[in-house]
Structure 1
Amino acid sequence: MTDGRIFFSVIFFNALIDLGHKIALQNTVFKVYDGSQQIILVAIINACILLPYIGLVMPVAKLADTHNKVKIMRATAAASLMLTLAITVFYDAGWFWPAMVMTLLMAIQSAFYSPAKLAYLKLFWGEARLSEANGWAQTASISGILIGTLAFSVGFEYLYARHAIVLADTNALIALLWPLGLVLVSLAMLQLYWTCRIPLLKEPAMEQGAINSKTNTSSVSRQSLFELLSHRRRLLPILCLALFWSVGQGMLAAFPAFAKAHAGITNTAVIQGVLATTGLGLALGATCVGRLSGPRIELRFVPLGVVIMTLGLTSLSLLSTATAFAMVYFMMGIASACLIVPLNAYLQKNTPSEQLGGLIASSNFLQNIAMLAMLLLTIVMALWGVDSRYLLQLMAALTAIIGAYLSIAIVNDSRS
């Protein structure tokens, strides 16, 4: 296997593992709870994933700028294996809330992995192939999400269906899922194996970052987060990505309750299958955008992505069948690729290599602040008893107004 395929395999397994545990918890909540209580608990699960990206932004950024990217990825892969072993123990014991805490710990290792992954991407492929490399990286990641969503949802339904009675307790239900924990451990072992085969590369920017760190002039300590993002060509793409990810979080939190209440869908495999079509669209879209861009960074895809996403969100609240939902989510997946691939490549191109790790961590920080804000809004609306249909319509309006401004500004700035 070539070095590039090894790297993309690691991205694939990382996405698969991170999603598998989350799917198990979300499906457990879906089976036991309804309405606002379900929305709130799903939002809490998603918040556990976001918080490390916010609270650990400074240490993550400093580590990414001053240490070898491959060694960071190997350390996080080893941590992932240890955590999946603990998750399996908690599943078998029927401990739902300790398993929930493991979501937070899994997110901590992921927060350290993400900047190292994207910084290595630029180091290995260079600026000339950034769009293509980002396209393949997104394809690998979304393929892991797609396969993980379907496999763990089908596995969940199989284990759930083996019991004739309906389990109304999260601890009793989570105890059935220990075989899924063993699957997570197996995947984590494969991830660690392939991560250890990623080639170590000489990183001049890392050496300079280490020197700066010793003199207390690293990109993170020398300038504040806002100074690091003061360049419009960095800030605007990050804000646009933050809008996309926050809307995505709102959709993930609100859609299961919406589908259950308005379409009568109670099978978790169907719910997760509909959501997984987003991944299918994103994987296809990322591949196409990467190939169509070639050596260039085609920011003209960004306004197109905003338009498609707005139309998708608007139509979603008017539909009532799983097939129609799946078609809309597939199109929104393509729209997502039109945003993620060119914007990530544009960010990487406009950031010096010695600051890239810090910028990615800072980008994750702002994006996760936006996602957490959307989750809090979702919780507040659920507590007020607001129908999930109106939350989807609100997200459509936010995407249309804010997305239009940001996408036009990004394209205009790139031409100046």
Structure 2
Amino acid sequence: MPLSKDKLPRSFWWHMATSFGGAMNDNLFKLFMVYALICWKGAEHSASILAMVGVVFSVPFILIAPIAGNFADKFSKRNMIVFLKAVEIGVMAFGILALSLKSEAMLYATMFLMSAQSAFFGPCKFGIIPEQSGPERLSRANGYLQMFTFLAIIAGTVLAPELSLLLDGRHSVAASISLVIAILGFTASLQIAPTRAHPQRTINLNGFQNIWRTLRFTRTDPPLLLALLAVSFFTLVAAYIQLNVLDFGHQHLDLSHEQATRLFLLTAIGIGAGSTLAGWLSGRSIEFGFVPLAASLITLCLIGLGLIAHGQIALAAINMFLLGVAAGLFVVPLEAFIQQRSPEDRRGAVQAANAFLSWLGIFTASGLLYFNASILKLSAQHGFLVIAFGMLVLSVFTIWVLSRYMLRLLLVLLIRIFYRLRISGIEQIPPDSPALLVSNHVSLMDALVILSSYQRHIRMLMSRDFYEKSDKFTQWMVRYGKVILIQDSDNPKKLIQSLKEARKVLNEGHLVCIFAEGGLSEDGTLQPLKPGFERIVKNSDIPIIPLYLNGLWQSVASHKNGEPQINPLKDLRIPISLSYGPALAATSSADEVHAAIARLAKLDDSSSANA
């Protein structure tokens, strides 16, 4: 039976179960070790212990992540996952022995081995997702992956302090649950479907050379490089928060270290919620607009934690939860983009570079925590203000770089709130090459609905007369959206200039959309198309994508009830649909494109009748 375009395969869910166990153990066992070390050495050494734990966990990633991607690219990612889950069982057993013997050296060795196993696991964990989900389900799959990861963190964060308190500090007994989780994770990994190996790939054990080569490769793709750097800095901030919150709760909220762990539990719950929300709202697209909004919210929450009064547990809890929501919204689109943008045969190497940069961020966070607490003698609360400044810089940068995506996201959310939009045939639009979209035109909302339907920026052609009669805000939005103005009444020179501008945009690899009827339909039916668009794609191989809008004739933005007006509140939740048809050749005539749109209208009407 063929798999539904919206349904993820069973193998994906076994992978989620496997990843859940690994993420839970990383968090659970690390907390047991932190509690044990603080118990053995005293609470006054907590800041240095936390910094040391961060260093020991990050060093293996810095050393191993550079070569881990080579293994993920050469061997079957499924087989790598099974092998690494078997290794995890041995590491957990060694850690339980270290806790039983109360050996600090063995405990740090366990941390190193745990981190080394995770360093090899990471490129496989993320790199296998596109092979399981396909491009059209990638954002949703990443949303689930982040949700499962942070549900695992929640489970580990809940269990660790409760078991530690329940068993009165007998950490070796409490940690035995990690061995059970590792065994269950290994069993789940056996159910993951086989994946393809690339035996022609060679393994270069000069890890830093691998990373350098990968980063040099990403320099040829600036958006990919920026995404990697943004995730790295975000990981620095997240690691600092996770390490700092234990002392913050102890110093500023009068909580024990076990109780302070529950603050990060709220963050983990928020991350799960934010990740799920990002995956759901993104649908089949990657919504970069979440990134600047989420970065700004993280900054505000960090400032809030840095300014709340002593003992305000409720306010701290709210800030920690919102931090998590923002973190989920921030990381899901970036991770999905990194996976999508990476070439298949380099995906493991790019993920390894991603892991390397991220763990370099964690290493830096550990050093920053030690510097703030031990050298500058800053309180944990003031440490949040220090990291807030760095996040503020990132927020400003992402707003500057991704402002267009942010405004598009706001448009998407507004369209989803006011209308019940159904989109079909979106896969007909080429993901990274030019196309001319030709649509019917029934309302003043048509352009906004089309713009909200697809992640890539679509350059619209608009009536110059409508632009000149619009208010200042609409005119600013038109200029910001780089709308191409055109009018039938233009003199031939100006008309040809507008058509040439549209062709220039297409030649640069972008999408252009034209309402070829020449104006709003007076009766809601498809009018004859004017042949001007033929000139735009003349003597080219640029495809024409027919597009049919249905439902907006019922809105106040159409001619149905008199003069059209933009007032979505009067159209609240009316059903509308957007249908993209198969690409037509650039040589297609206006009549042929008209016929294609008419076929879409007939199909849409019949599917609406059967709904």
- TM (normalized to structure 1)? 0.89
Contact 1:237 1:410 in 2 (8 A): no
Distance 1:3 1:215, change over 3 A: closer
What are the residue-to-residue correspondences of 1:275-290 with 2, within 5 Å? 275-290=264-279
Partner of 1:184: 178
Say which SS state the counterpart of residue 43 (structure 1) adopts.
Answer: helix
* Kept in 2: contact 1:38–1:257 (CA 8 A): yes
Aligned to 1:252: 242
Q: Deviations over 1:271-308 (max 9, x none)?
A: 11111111101111111110111001111000111011
- In structure 1, the residue matched to 2:69 is 61
Q: Which residue of 1 aligns with 2:43?
A: 34
1:89-238 alignment runs, 5 A limit: 89-160=97-168, 176-201=170-195, 203=196, 206-207=197-198, 210-213=199-202, 224-230=213-219, 231-238=221-228
- More deviation in 386-395 or 118-127? 386-395
Higher Rg of the two aligned structures: 2
Q: CA–CA distance in 1 between the matches of 2:22 and 2:211?
A: 32
SS state at 1:229 partner: helix
1:228–1:359 Cα contact (<8 Å) kept: no
Amino acid at match of 1:229: T
Higher strand share: 2
Over 3 Å counting, the alpha-carbon distance change for 1:337 and 1:407 in structure 2 is farther
1:73 aligns with 2:81: yes
Q: Which residue of structure 2 aligns with residue 322 of structure 1?
A: 313
Offset at residue 221 of structure 1 (A) = 5.2
3-state DSSP of counterpart to 2:284: coil
Aligned to 2:365: 374
1:151/1:251 CA distance change after superposition, 3 Å: same
Partners of 1:411 and 1:90 in 2: how far apart?
Answer: 51
What are the Cα deviations for residues 336-362 of structure 1, in whole angstroms up to 9, with x where unaligned? Answer: 111111001111111111111000000
Comparing both chains, which one has the higher relative contact order based on Cα–Cα distances under 8 Å and sequence gaps of 6 or more?
1
Change beyond 3 A, Cα 1:367–1:223: closer
Greater displacement, 49-58 / 131-140: 49-58
- 2:30, 2:203 → 1: CA distance? 39
Partner of 2:345: 354
More helix by share: 1
* Structure 1 pair 109–407 and aligned structure 2 pair: CA distance change class (3 A): farther
5+ residue gaps, structure 2: 1-8, 406-455, 458-509, 511-611
- Please identify, of 292-301 and 396-405, the stretch whose mean Cα deviation from structure 2 is larger: 396-405
Q: CA deviation at 1:407?
A: 5.0
Identity of aligned residues (%): 20
Q: Give the distance between the partners of 1:88 and 1:374, measured in 2 at CA.
A: 28
1:2 to 2:10 alignment: yes
Is the counterpart of residue 295 in structure 1 residue 307 in structure 2? no
Aligned equivalents of 1:20, 1:146: Cα separation in 2: 9
Deviation at 1:318, TM superposition (A): 2.2
Structure 1 residues 259 and 233: CA distance shift in structure 2, 3 A: same
Q: What is the rounded CA distance, in whole Å, between the counterparts of 1:254 and 1:33 in structure 2? A: 17
Gap change, CA 1:69 and 1:212, over 3 Å in 2:
closer
Q: How far apart are the structure 1 equivalents of 2:386 and 2:163?
A: 34
